[in-house]
Amino acid sequence: MPVPRVVQQAYFWVVSALGGLATIALLVFAVATQSNTDAERIAETKGRSSINALVGALAVTHGRPGSL
């Protein structure tokens, strides 16, 4: 028995919406995780000079895969 076209379209919309929500959730999680790591790294630079902190931050940023 064929499935009505409306049911097919509703199914595709639901699957697409769930995929979009999962993508957004993973993106938010990744940004939050990275922000926490950066905050800890910045907090550890209190005893260093600003030049040392800048060079360290640049080294960390350019050492990440896909940063360029």
pLDDT digits (tens, 9 = 90+) for 37-66: 777 766 666 666 667 777 777 777 776 666
pLDDT of residue 48: 65
- Which residue has tokens 């379209």? 9
Of 23, 3, 25, 1, nearest to 12 (Cα)?
3
- Which residue has tokens 């910045």? 42
State the Rg of the chain over Cα. Answer: 22
Q: What is the tens place of the pLDDT at every residue in 1-51?
A: 888 999 999 999 999 999 999 999 998 888 777 777 777 766 666 666 667
pLDDT of residue 59: 76
What single DSSP character describes residue 4?
P
pTM: 0.50
CA separation for the pair 20, 16 (Å, rounded) = 6
Backbone angles phi, psi at 49, to 5 degrees: -75, 165
